[in-house]
Amino acid sequence: MAGKEDKVLLRMKVNGEEAEVAVKPTWTLLRVLREELGFTGTKKGCEQGDCGACTVIMDGKAVNACLVLALQAESKEIETIEGLGTADALHPLQKSFIEHGAVQCGFCTPGMLMSAEALLRENRKPSLEEIKIGISGNLCRCTGYTKIIKAIESVSQKNREALTPFRGQ
Amino acid sequence: MQNYQFHGPRTVGEALNILSERGDGCRIIAGGTDLIPALRNEDILPDSVLNILEIDELTGISEEGDTIRIGPTTTFTEIIQSQVIKRSLPLLVEAASSVGGPTIRNRGTIGGNICNGSPAADVLPAVVALDGELELQSKALGTRIIPAAEAVEAPYQTRFNRDELLTGILIKKLPSETRYAFEKLASRNAMARAYMNISIVLKLDEKGAFSDLRIVPGTLEAVARRMSAAEKILMGRQPEDSLVEEAADAFVGDLAGVWIPDYKLPVARSVFKRVLKRALNGSGVE
Ligand SMILES: Cc1cc2nc3c(=O)[nH]c(=O)nc-3n(C[C@H](O)[C@H](O)[C@H](O)COP(=O)(O)OP(=O)(O)OC[C@H]3O[C@@H](n4cnc5c(N)ncnc54)[C@H](O)[C@@H]3O)c2cc1C
Ligand code: FES
Ligand code: FES
């Protein structure tokens, strides 16, 4: 076991790739993602669990990266906004956010998208109420939420249509 | 944050050894949703932190005869999604659903909610209303079981010894036809600590009179406890409107002057009536 001042080796998977990084036991997952690994798409807001800007998906569940000690992420699979889509191949949620004007300053957007993605993986066709609950841990100071909810609803609606069997005339 | 050593044991045995060796300077971390903000604010300065989330024995929900055993590191999300809890302890689903938002419920644990000892905890009062018991383990004392009602001594202070680990929450399945309700009053529907919450568990006999009743508010007092004055008025009698008014007076009378300012008492009174009526109108567990 390492002494008090020592760094400890942390191994985890970030966006499908193995990451190995020496961390201090006091560091949070948020700090490691942003400052050691360069995944700055994950935003640092309140660092108290209140704003959701730091939301990432850990072993399939949306979590606040500011409320996970880095060493608690040992052997876990982390997904950040950088793993969701790329500029040339946007994720359906990202496309929908743009189409619906759900992004203003953009600070909340990565966290919103990760919460929405975690929701849609568990529930492909969430209701309006379920969408509101799904993003209830994410603060947005700009949009008033309506367009964000519409953007997620539209992806949910497409999922619904894709799953509805064709009934003919 | 002050530096500390990080321990990540895989078994309860290893955890108990570390707790017994490290003594006072060691803090247990589960979901960290209470502990990490406290570490960051340097409210607490441990010299080691013991992560219990990788101990398989400490998580999950199982049925042992008429008792349900909930591992302390079971998250609120896992409680909400559990068919066993939905069927036999639905009050816990309501209380757990009221905590924070999805990310907090994915990380926050029932054990952390109890051991943090916050007066504003939402799930701890529900566990008290369900007559829950806590299994504690340490190298010094072995295993002991205490009522959940005795867990917290003062705000943020439990009666556990420093080397003790909460290893199980034990709750008897609610008998059929038991009714229940949980209500939380907060500034918003999500991500808000309770101004007050009230958990109620009750049973009516064949004449429609209260034959079992437990009323436990949160945030209204320093430590969650049963409201015996109101319970006494209702027990053995039928829930007529005038009796409910009398019980509501007793409920706030019991609270007055202790922990909440007088101006909140009328609100507490009406939340009490609302949650009691909801419990009475509910269908009860099967
Ligand atoms: C944004 C936000 C919103 C919140 N909203 C709510 C809310 O609405 N309602 C509510 O009730 N709470 C709320 N909380 C508080 C918190 O999420 C809960 O109290 C949660 O249950 C704590 O569990 P945890 O596993 O994260 O505990 P931790 O932070 O890991 O631990 C809390 C305390 O318990 C001790 N501990 C944990 N497990 C054990 C064990 N097995 N044995 C002995 N000691 C142990 C730790 O040492 C620590 O002192 C909120 C927190 C945040 C950050
Ligand atoms: S930075 Fe993590 S919730 Fe605000
Ligand atoms: S777009 Fe600015 S905070 Fe949401």
ipTM: 0.94
Task: Answer whether residue B256 shows pLDDT above 90.
Answer: no
Q: Which of B6, B103, B191 to mutate to test the interface with A (most CBs of A within 10 A)?
A: B103
Token output for B101: 């938002």
User: CB–CB of A142/A104 below 8 Å?
Assistant: yes
The Cα B23–Cα B20 span in angstroms is 5
The Cα B114–Cα B72 span in angstroms is 9
Q: Where in chain A is the domain with CATH 1.10.150.120?
A: 92-163
Q: What CATH architecture does domain A8-83 belong to? A: Roll (3.10)
**pLDDT score recorded for residue B284:** 82
Name the residue of A50, A94, A107 whose CB sits within 8 Å of the most ligand 3 atoms, as the mutation to test its pocket.
A107
Query: B104: distance to nearest CA of chain A, Å?
Result: 7
Q: Where in chain A is the domain with CATH 3.10.20.30?
A: 8-83
A63 and B106 within 8 Å at the Cβ level: the answer is yes
Q: What is the mean pLDDT of residues A25-53?
A: 98
How big is the CA angle at B76 (ends B282 and A48), to the nearest 5 degrees? 125
Q: Is B82 helix (H, G, I), strand (E, B) or coil?
A: coil
The pLDDT tens digits of the residues spanning B144-167 come to: 999 999 999 999 999 999 999 999
Phi, psi torsion values for A21, nearest 5 degrees:
-150, 140
Which residues of chain A have a CB within 8 Å of the CB of B33?
A: 49, 64, 67
Query: A169: distance to nearest CA of chain B, Å?
Result: 40
Q: What is the mean pLDDT of residues A61-85?
A: 97
The Cα B199–Cα B276 span in angstroms is 9
Beta strands in B125-267 (DSSP E): 133-138, 142-147, 152-154, 157-158, 165-172, 179-186, 194-204, 210-218
Give the CATH H-level superfamily of domain A92-163: [2Fe-2S]-binding domain (1.10.150.120)
A66 and B36 within 8 Å at the Cβ level: the answer is yes
Phi, psi torsion values for B133, nearest 5 degrees:
-125, 155
Domains of chain B, earliest start first: 5-51 (3.30.43.10), 63-172 (3.30.465.10), 195-281 (3.30.390.50)
User: Among A1-5, B259-263, B269-273, which range has the highest average pLDDT?
Assistant: B269-273
Q: What is the mean pLDDT of residues A146-159?
A: 94
Q: What proportions of chain A, in percent to the nearest 5, are helix, strand and coil? A: 40, 15, 45
For tokens 């958990």, the residue is B199
- The CB of A53 under 6 Å from ligand 2? The reply is yes
Task: Answer whether residue B75 shows pLDDT above 90.
Answer: yes
Task: For residue A38, count CB atoms less than 10 angstroms from its CB and return exposed for 0-12, middle for 13-18, buried for 19 or more.
Answer: exposed
Model confidence at A70, in pLDDT bands (50, 70, 90)? very high
Q: What percent of chain B has pLDDT over 90?
A: 89
Distance, C-alpha B78 to centroid of its chain: 15
Q: Which of residues 44-83 of A touch B (CB under 8 A)?
A: 47-50, 52, 55, 61-64, 66-69, 71-72, 74
Task: Answer whether residue B281 shows pLDDT above 90.
Answer: yes
A119 and B32 within 8 Å at the Cβ level: the answer is no
Q: What is the mean pLDDT of residues A77-96?
A: 95
Torsion of CA B121, B124, B129, B133, to 10 degrees: -170
